[in-house]
Amino acid sequence: MWREAARRSFFPLDLEQLGSRPFAGRLIHHELVAIDAYQVIADASMCRRTAAGIAEADPEQIKIHLLRRGSCGVQQDDRYGVLRPGTITTLDSSARYMIEAREPFELVLFAVPKALLGPYADTLRRTTATVSEVGVSSLIALFLDRLVDQLEDGSIVRSQGPLAETVLALLRALAVEGSGGNVVTPAPLLLDLKSYIERHVADPALSPASIAAAHFISTRYLHKLFRREEHSVSETIRRARLARCQRDLADPALAGETVSSIAMRWGMRDAAHFSRLFRDAYGCTPREYRAAELLRARDRQRSA
């Protein structure tokens, strides 16, 4: 059950219990616009992000971790660090990593799409699994600690765009600090545009024209801003929608929903067009993908 909860909340992970049975764990999920926040309270265990898991599904996120209780060893690439209460580290979902806790622990983490971080994501990726408790890191730890408490008690609602921007700004500051200031920063408008796409991806009317109008710029200028990016603005919208459809199709809790209803929820009204796009992106139809993922979920449940 714990493995399945982690998989559905994050992405494919290998989890191993350390210590004697029984095992207890609690996972709480909050949304802050396009950023996902989690509280993980669990007994001693090890978590591995493997090459097979990355190949199966990768949301392309930078995750920032704050330890509240216990201690955790973290490793990614050739870097290793030990988290103590009040310290933070980052991990990249697109590369193998390990988190090991040999005692009960409480961890807060925020999963941020790399698309919202621009070149800062590459800088953060080069310093993952390093632990710091001074400078910008100490400010981030204090902010995230209070933020998740208020998300849990309802003092802050998930539609708080300015707070999500604050999380992004703190991560950018962490990247600048870690690089010694050698980060080529993108135009603030481009970051705002990407954040807007993530917040409105479910709107079927989302388009280059609507994005440009919302930011009081021409569509031509919008395309110019995305010219140096890896994906065009239309492709950025399409990839964001497909990623959310892929996530929901793999969720056993949504097995009763039709493929077309999931596609419509994420702004894709033409079922045939959605199916073609999904096959081009993932190599199979939405129905084939869902059947395979639900079968894997049943097999994991039987073996648990």
Of 170, 185, 200, the residue at which a domain comes to its end is 185
175 and 60 in one domain? Answer: yes
CB 197 within 8 A of CB 211: yes
284 and 196 in one domain? Answer: yes
User: Which CATH number covers residue 253?
Assistant: 1.10.10.60
Exposed, middle or buried: residue 169 (CB in 10 Å: 0-12, 13-18, 19+)?
exposed
Give the per-residue pLDDT at 181.
46
Give the per-residue pLDDT at 188.
65
Pairing of strands 45-49, 61-69: unpaired
Give the per-residue pLDDT at 183.
47
Distance (Å, rounded) from C-alpha 233 to C-alpha 49?
30
Give the per-residue pLDDT at 178.
66
Q: What is the mean pLDDT of residues 237-241?
A: 92
Which candidate, 119, 104, 22, places its Cα nearest to that of 68?
Answer: 104
191 and 163 in one domain? Answer: no
95 and 32 in one domain? Answer: yes
- Over 90: is that where the pLDDT of 68 sits? yes
153 and 24 in one domain? Answer: yes
The 3-state DSSP class for residue 136 equals: helix
Number of Cβ within 10 Å of residue 293's Cβ equals 19
List all residues 6 or more positions away from 244 whose beta carbon is below 8 Å from its beta carbon: 201, 202, 266
Distance (Å, rounded) from C-alpha 187 to C-alpha 30?
29
**What total of structural domains would you count in the chain?**
2
33 and 44 in one domain? Answer: yes
Structural domain that includes position 141 = 1-185
177 and 79 in one domain? Answer: yes
Is pTM, for the whole model, over 0.75?
A: no
115 and 221 in one domain? Answer: no
61 and 110 in one domain? Answer: yes
16 and 129 in one domain? Answer: yes
172 and 64 in one domain? Answer: yes
Q: How confident is the model at residue 164 (pLDDT cuts 50, 70, 90)?
A: confident
